[in-house]
Amino acid sequence: MPEPKSPAIPATIDLAFAATPPYGTVAEPTYSGALSFLRRPYGKDLSVADVAVLGVPFDLATTNRPGARLGPRAIRAASASLAWCPPYAWDFDPLQRLRVLDAGDVYFDPGRPAEAPEAIRGAFAAVAAQGVIPLALGGDHFISFPILQALQPVHGPLALVHFDAHSDTWRDADGRVDHGTMFFHAARLGLVDPARSIQLGMRTHNAETHGFRVVDARELHAIGVEEAVAAIRARVGGSKCYVSFDVDFLDPAYAPGTGTPVVGGFSTHDALRLVRGLAGLDIVGMDVVEVSPPYDHAEITALAAASVAQELLAALAAGRG
C-alpha cells in the first residue's frame, strides 16, 4: 500500500504565512517568498502581537518629490535581506522577545483623499487600544500626525525623539497640515510635550523651536553619537516616547531615495548607533518615513530604512530582557 502523501507543501518559504512558532529568526531565501517585514507573520488579530507593523502608503502631503506611497512595499522587500539572522550589534534576538505581526497597510480610498487622515488615525487607534506598539512604515512624514492623534488618548502627551533634516515645526494655519508642519500642530494640540522632546539632524532653517530641544546637524556632527545619545536620554527620561525617523536624516549619499534630500547629513553607521542608544526608553510608537523608491538606487535607501526599523525593534526589545 503506498504511503499517504503529505497534505501540505512543506513550509520552507513563505514564513509570513507559515511560520511556526511565531517567535525567532528563521532563514529563508532572500530572493523568494512572501514579503512581510522581516518575514514576520501577516495577520489582523492584534491580540497575538506585541508590535504591529503597519504600512501607510500616503504621500499627498509632501511639498517636494512624491513617491513615498511606494515606501512600505520597498522597505518590506529590502527587509528580506535582513531577516535571515538577528541584528549583529545585539547579544539577543529581538524577535525572540517580541511577537511582531505585519498587519499590512492602512487602506484609504484614493478618490476621497480628505478621508485619509481619519483612516490612518483609526487604524492606529485600534492598535493602541489593544496595548500593542505600532511600527509605521511610511509614507510621507505627515503620517506621524494622525498616529500621534491615535496614541495621545491612550498615553497622554508623548516625548518625541525625532531624526530628520527638517524640523517639521514650521508655523502653519489651523486646519492645514503637511509633512513639514505636523509637529508644530502636534505640540500646539498637546499630542507631544516639547519640554521632554528632542530633534536631531536639522539642516534647514527654522528660527522657532517651539520649546523642542534641537540638536542641529552642526551640533550633532560636533558632539558625536555618544553625547547625542546622552542628550536624548536626559531629555526623555522615563517618559513615554514616540520615535520618528525620517530617512532624509541620512545624507543623500546614503539615502538618495527620498522626497526632500538635504546634503551635509549622516551616515547609516551613525544613524544605527543613535537608534541603538534608545535601548531601554519607554517607546510606545515608532515610524520610519519618506522612502521614495522612484529616486532610490540599488535599494540602498529602502535597505537603510529597513535596517533602522530593525534596530528600533531591538531597542524596544532591550527593555524586555
Residue numbering of the annotated binding site: 141, 164, 166, 168, 246, 248
* CA-to-CA dists, residue 28 to 32, 144, 261, angstroms: 8, 32, 34
| 283 close to 250: Cβ distance less than 8 angstroms | no
3-state helix, strand, coil in the chain (%, to 5): 40, 15, 45
Distance CA 72, CA 114 (A): 21
Residue showing cell 522632546: 197
Distance CA 43, CA 51 (A): 12
Distance CA 263, CA 265 (A): 6
| 13 close to 73: Cβ distance less than 8 angstroms | no
Cβ within 8 Å of residue 42, ≥6 positions away: 16, 17, 34, 36, 101, 102, 103, 104
Q: What is the DSSP string of 246-258?
A: EGGGB-TTT---B
Return the SS3 of 144: helix
Which residues are part of a known binding site for Mn(2+)? 141, 164, 166, 168, 246, 248
Which residue, 241, 234, 238, 254, is CA-closest to 287?
Answer: 241
Distance CA 189, CA 157 (A): 9
Q: Which residues pair with 160 in a beta bridge?
A: 242
Residue 25 has which C-alpha cell? 529568526
